[in-house]
Amino acid sequence: MAFNAKKYLEKLRSEALAEAERDGVAIRVSNLTKSFKLPTERAWGLKQAIFNRLRGIKGYKKQVVLSGIDFEVKKGEFLGIVGRNGSGKSTLLKLLAEIYVPDSGKVTVNGSLVPFIELGVGFNPELTGRENIYLNGAMLGFSNREVDKMYNEIVKFAELEDFMDQKLKNYSSGMQVRLAFSIAIRAKGDILVLDEVLAVGDAAFQEKCNNYFASLHGNQTVILVTHDMGNVERFCDRAILIEKGKIVKDGEPKAVADAYRKLWD
Partner 1 sequence: MASKRKNMILLSEMVKTDFKLRYQGSVLGYLWAVLRPLLMFAILYVVFAKILRFGGDVPHYPVYLLVGTVLWNFFTECTGMGIHAIEGRGDLIRKLSFPKYIVVVSATSTAVINMLINMVVVTVFALINGVTPSLTWLLVIPLLIELYLLALGISLLLGAIDVKFRDIGSIWEVLMQAMFYAVPIIYPISMVLETSALAAKILLLNPIAQVIQDVRYCLITTETTTSWELLGVKLGLVPIILCVILFILAVWYFRRKAPYFAEEV
Binding site for partner 1 (CB under 8 A): 36, 43-47, 49, 94, 97-101, 112, 115, 117-118, 121-122, 124, 126-127, 131, 134-135, 138-139, 141-144
- What single-letter amino acid sits at 263? L
Q: Which CB, 44 or 264, lies closer to partner 1? A: 44
Alpha helices (runs of H) in the chain, residue ranges in sequence order: 2-22, 46-54, 89-96, 129-139, 144-158, 173-184, 203-216, 229-235, 253-262
Nearer CB in complex with partner 1: 194/236: 194
C-alpha of 99 from chain center: 10
> Are the C-beta atoms of residues 219 and 237 closer than 8 Å to each other?
no
Least distance (Å) from partner 1 to the CB of residue 230? Answer: 26
Q: How far is the CB of 37 from partner 1 (least distance, A)?
A: 8
Residue closer to partner 1 by CB (options 114, 259) is 114
Cβ neighbours for 181, distance < 8 A, ≥ 6 positions apart: 119, 158, 197, 200, 201, 209
Residue with Cβ nearer partner 1 (23 or 118): 118
Q: Least separation, in Å, of the C-beta of 36 and partner 1? A: 6
Residue 133 contacts residue 169 (beta carbons within 8 Å): no
CB of 143 to partner 1, least distance (A): 5
Minimum distance between the CB of residue 58 and partner 1, rounded to whole angstroms? 14
**Rounded alpha-carbon distances, angstroms, from residue 88 to 34, 61, 233:** 9, 17, 21
Residue number, 49 or 255, with CB nearest to partner 1: 49
> 74 phi and psi, to 5 degrees?
-75, 155
Least gap, CB of 107 to partner 1 (angstroms): 12
Which of 96/232 has CB closer to partner 1?
Answer: 96
